[in-house]
Amino acid sequence: MMNSTTTPKNKNKINRLLTGLGAAAFWLVMWQIISMLVAQELLVPAPSVVLKALSGLIRTAEFWQSAGLSLLRILLGFLLGIITGSLAAILTTRFKVADALLSPLLRLVRATPVASFIILALVWIKTGNLPSFISFLMVVPLVWSNVESGIKHIDNRLLEMARVYRLGWFKTLIFVRIPSVMPYFMAACTAGMGLAWKSGIAAEVICRAPLSIGNQLQSAKTHLETPEVFAWTITVVLLSLMLEKLLVTSAARFGKRFNAGGGN
């Protein structure tokens, strides 16, 4: 029985891997063709040239310092945004005054272009702190909206059942409210991670934060080092995919342990 259930899963994983590799190979070939047609490294460098530039960057301490500091800045803003957005959702669903005061502000933040916030924030915030602030600002409304929606969609029958069985406030929170809101929260975290990363890098590019990926991108562009621009862009994409995968994996493991604990 174990072999019959395991084999299809392994086949699906292999098929997904092969599909992904095939798609990557296709776009690499297209990239190479476009590079050959343009025939100008300044505009579209070949994949081999970009790979050479990336391998050269990886060997430098500045690369790791820039990538590490960018990660720290953006993750700090992301985590603060998750906490603040969740608290805002609890307040706006619990208190009418909080809803009247916070909801319009958060909707305004969500509707405003990130570039506008970056330019305005440059006046008030130190350059090194700006990427964290922008990441935080982009994540808060997203988390607030999702978590608020999750709280509003908690099944009243489950809450009524918890009251009938006298579970109490704490057990109701642990076994009813949090599991009901968790899918909304995790969706917000996954989307928020990508948004925080992109907006944080954009803030680094504009404010030229010291030892940052954004600053390296801007410097490479200024000096017309197109292969390095491509190399840093690939670094941004790979780090973004890594963070998203780590978040999804951690969420899945947390959900399994949480459900196992709830079942016990």
| Any domain includes 228 | yes
| Any domain includes 14 | no
pLDDT digits (tens, 9 = 90+) for 110-154: 888 888 888 888 888 888 889 999 999 999 999 999 999 998 888
| Any domain includes 143 | yes
| Any domain includes 215 | yes
| Residue 168, domain CATH | 1.10.3720.10
pLDDT digits (tens, 9 = 90+) for 148-157: 999 888 888 8
pLDDT digits (tens, 9 = 90+) for 61-114: 999 999 999 999 999 999 999 999 999 999 999 999 999 999 999 999 888 888
Eight-state DSSP code of residue 1? -
d(CA 211, CA 131): 12
d(CA 222, CA 120): 23
pLDDT above 50 for 179? yes
Q: At what angle do helices 226-263 and 213-222 cross, to 10 degrees?
A: 160
Q: At what angle do helices 61-94 and 96-111 cross, to 10 degrees?
A: 140
| Any domain includes 42 | no
Count of CB atoms situated within 10 Å of the CB of 203 = 32
Residue with tokens 């803003």: 77
Q: Which two tokens stand for residue 139?
A: 């994540």
Residues 6+ away with beta carbon under 8 Å from 96? none
Residue with tokens 């940052």: 212
- pLDDT score, position 1: 45
| Any domain includes 5 | no
Query: How many domains are there within the chain?
Result: 1
Q: Which of these, 187, 112, 198, 174, lies nearest to 148 by C-alpha position?
A: 187
Q: Count the alpha carbons within 13 Å of 90 in the hemisphere toward its beta carbon.
A: 10
Q: Which domain holds residue 245?
A: 62-263
* Average pLDDT value for residue range 52-59: 92
How far from chain centre, in Å, is Cα 99?
Answer: 26
Using 50, 70 and 90 to split pLDDT, how confident is the model at 242?
A: confident
Count of CB atoms situated within 10 Å of the CB of 174 = 15
